A and B are shown apart, each in its own frame.
Chain A
């Protein structure tokens, strides 16, 4: 099923509203989204920078404390008791160390301070061969070992080794090996000003988390793959996050500070904007749909009404009219449609009238023909014709003129009182005068559609309402027998078609008149011959000349309708032959 104009208009209107709205919304959302993404990464980057700096400072401070112990307190030249006291004091105050071990220049353990274990002098061993001693000895610089985890507690540690050199000989005198607890860094993570439910944590080069505000993350040895740059990625909890990374180094050891925030939070503003825009778009779509529906209804309802009217008109109901609701183009269209319908209605009405008239005329013509075929009396014929024609065509007046012996046109019959008066007056029209005279003269119909505009038209006081008239010749070939004249009381009341019909009737009248003439003539001839025969018979029955003459004279008087008749005989001498001259 094809979509209605109203539906299409509603859809178009909605689309027209939505397209710019969606474009603006999409562009705005896209910009906001990108800006928020950038902002989210920058925020996390700021956190990593800050935390990285704090961690760097914190561990650097620990290293510096150990270095200060050596450089400021003259550690290498101090007695073992002094060294023990310094280290014990440091160990008790700095809980960041799980263990502090002092070795001599050959790696032999001289002192072993531990928070967990009791190490007696007899249990002291050697660190020779261990990285923390050998590399420190080799480089003469601070050494930072790889991260290890305590099996009992799960805590990560890192060994920091500081060399102490004999100031006189420059030889390695001692190495302080401190087992640094990353647990002390956890607080830095916990105090970091993270956003929302975000977190910041520290991993070693292998990605093992060594510091996090949540101890569980560290203790379960969570491992991540530090990215090479800030990006949106899967976070430590497995959800999508805005992730920033910062690398820090202690000696040869590389660590990463990572800050992350769930994407849902980091892009909350962007998402809210998207939701808002979506809601506005939905609302706009809804509003546009309603407005479009209303607008399209305003447009399409009159058109639909017009279409309905047109369909009804096409189905034959010409009385339908379109409702004119406005004065705009649609209103003008409705008005034009109504005018067109009216014209069509009138035209069809006119056609129907014409058909009716035509049918009526044809019926009249047929009737006239049928009647004419049975009427042999001229007067009756004329009377019937004018009555039938006037009645059939609803003419104002109908009359017949016949050519008399003088060649003029004598009134033979007419309808109404006027026809009767003119008949009694023996009204005649000369050939060539008036419409009747012209028709007879030209043997052609003369039509005057508007008598008032035809200067040749002659008014008849007995027929004052005549507005149109046609006179058609009653003729057989070139012989004009008369004229059939009909008049209408409306201008253009008589058309060319009417004229043609009247002409056809006139033609039949001509034949009928001819027949009537012939019949009359034959009838008169027969009567004469019968009379002559009767008279002859009576004369033959006379026995004398006188009776013969008397009979002849009487019968002739009767036949001729004379009161007085006379036979005059003139007796002359008989000729030689004995016959009268």
Chain B
């Protein structure tokens, strides 16, 4: 009887101890340091990475405390380089890939195949068409992120409103640049005649050819830069100088592509906004949500007008148009 009483007492004590442990374990904060591998497709897109880190900090992920970013700015610019970088990051046991650009996203997607490591992209243009995800609402797999819907026709429309005298358009692109070609074939070519414009020969094979074409452009021409133009981006500064010398204004989709002066206007997504969207998605994944269940979000477009550049090209911008701009740079 005494033995039974002792056993019973022991069981009760063990139960109380377990209960105590259970209660004490409730509410104990889970602390983990996340390792995020970052791959950026183009140097000027690194601004998204910077904004992403700011947003992550606002969400409570402080670099060096509970999050570590593995980012190599000298990774290269082609698919092979991105693939190698993705594999290198895999070897470093990253918890998540944050990719900026279509090619980098594809590289990460290939690297994480067969694993549960999520990939969040910010941005990818038309991710379904690129085969990054199966469906916008239901991505499936472990890749999700923020998409950009090609608004280049709308950007061109805004350019024409600012420069209504325009009759010709020069839109340089290299057929070897797949992303650029996706934009070229995305509807802009149909929009140009619809807006009463004539497309100047724009297909080039390299930077030199791109620059040489500038000299032959009619005066009522505007240069409209799709973005990215990948292989041609190294010549953007020269392009802007030649255009300025010819008095041909440049309009772009993205502002921070390396032009000097900046483009007259650009209709693009907000880097900070899309980085914030991407950060929120990463946060939700860290909180347990599965990428497969996270629909692709869409970045918002904004109209920016640079009045300084407009003055350089003697382009008067009406108040009616300025009133419709999201950002006016004076």
- Interface: A73 (CB within 8 A): no
Report A-chain residues with C-beta under 8 Å of the C-beta of B80.
none
Report whether B12 and A115 are in contact in the complex, using a CB–CB cutoff of 8 Å.
Answer: no
Report whether B191 and A282 are in contact in the complex, using a CB–CB cutoff of 8 Å.
Answer: no
Contact A89:B323 (CB < 8 A) given known A154-B296, A219-B137, A220-B137: yes
- Apart from A118-B154, A123-B194, what 10 extra A-B contacts exist at CB < 8 Å? A6-B1, A93-B323, A118-B195, A120-B195, A122-B194, A152-B149, A154-B298, A285-B12, A286-B13, A293-B5
Report whether B137 and A91 are in contact in the complex, using a CB–CB cutoff of 8 Å.
Answer: no
Report whether A85 and B136 are in contact in the complex, using a CB–CB cutoff of 8 Å.
Answer: no
Report whether B137 and A154 are in contact in the complex, using a CB–CB cutoff of 8 Å.
Answer: yes
Distance in angstroms from B245 CB to nearest chain A CB is 30
Contact A279:B19 (CB < 8 A) given known A89-B324, A115-B154, A289-B12: yes
- Of A117, A219, A278, which contacts B296 at CB under 8 A? A219
- Binary flags per residue of A283-301, CB closer than 8 Å to B gives 1, else 0: 1011001100100000000
List 8 tightest A-B contacts by C-beta distance, closest first.
Answer: A92-B324, A219-B295, A153-B298, A220-B295, A118-B153, A216-B294, A220-B137, A118-B157
- Binary flags per residue of B13-35, CB closer than 8 Å to A gives 1, else 0: 10110010001000000000000
Report B-chain residues with C-beta under 8 Å of the C-beta of A214.
284
Q: Which residues of A contact B (CB under 8 A)?
A: 4, 6-7, 85, 88-89, 91-93, 95, 114-118, 120, 122-123, 151-155, 214-216, 219-221, 275, 278-279, 282-283, 285-286, 289-290, 293
Report B-chain residues with C-beta under 8 Å of the C-beta of A116.
149, 151, 154
Distance in angstroms from A278 CB to nearest chain B CB is 8
- Interface: B156 (CB within 8 A): yes
- Of B12, B137, B298, which contacts A221 at CB under 8 A? B137
Report B-chain residues with C-beta under 8 Å of the C-beta of A88.
320, 324
Report A-chain residues with C-beta under 8 Å of the C-beta of B284.
214, 216
- Interface: B293 (CB within 8 A): yes
- Of A117, A151, A286, A289, which contacts B16 at CB under 8 A? A286
How big is chain B's contact interface, by range?
Answer: 35 or more
Report whether B153 and A117 are in contact in the complex, using a CB–CB cutoff of 8 Å.
Answer: yes
5 A–B contacts, CB within 8 A, in A order: A85-B320, A92-B323, A115-B154, A215-B297, A220-B138
Report B-chain residues with C-beta under 8 Å of the C-beta of A117.
153-154
Report whether B12 and A220 are in contact in the complex, using a CB–CB cutoff of 8 Å.
Answer: no
Report B-chain residues with C-beta under 8 Å of the C-beta of A92.
323-325
A285 to B19, CA, bound (A): 15
Report B-chain residues with C-beta under 8 Å of the C-beta of A221.
137
Report B-chain residues with C-beta under 8 Å of the C-beta of A285.
12
A153 to B294, CA, bound (A): 13
Report B-chain residues with C-beta under 8 Å of the C-beta of A93.
323
- Interface: B327 (CB within 8 A): no
- Interface: B289 (CB within 8 A): yes
- Binary flags per residue of B295-313, CB closer than 8 Å to A gives 1, else 0: 1111011000000000000
Report A-chain residues with C-beta under 8 Å of the C-beta of B289.
216
Distance in angstroms from B162 CB to nearest chain A CB is 14
A275 to B18, CA, bound (A): 13
Report B-chain residues with C-beta under 8 Å of the C-beta of A123.
194
Greatest chain B CB density within 10 A among A152, A155, A275, A289 is at A152
Which residue of chain A has its CB nearest to the CB of B324?
A92
Report whether A275 and B23 are in contact in the complex, using a CB–CB cutoff of 8 Å.
Answer: yes
Distance in angstroms from B126 CB to nearest chain A CB is 9
Report B-chain residues with C-beta under 8 Å of the C-beta of A275.
19, 23
- Of B5, B16, B194, B320, which contacts A118 at CB under 8 A? B194
Contact A282:B151 (CB < 8 A) given known A92-B324, A152-B136, A220-B293: no
Distance in angstroms from B12 CB to nearest chain A CB is 5
Distance in angstroms from B132 CB to nearest chain A CB is 15
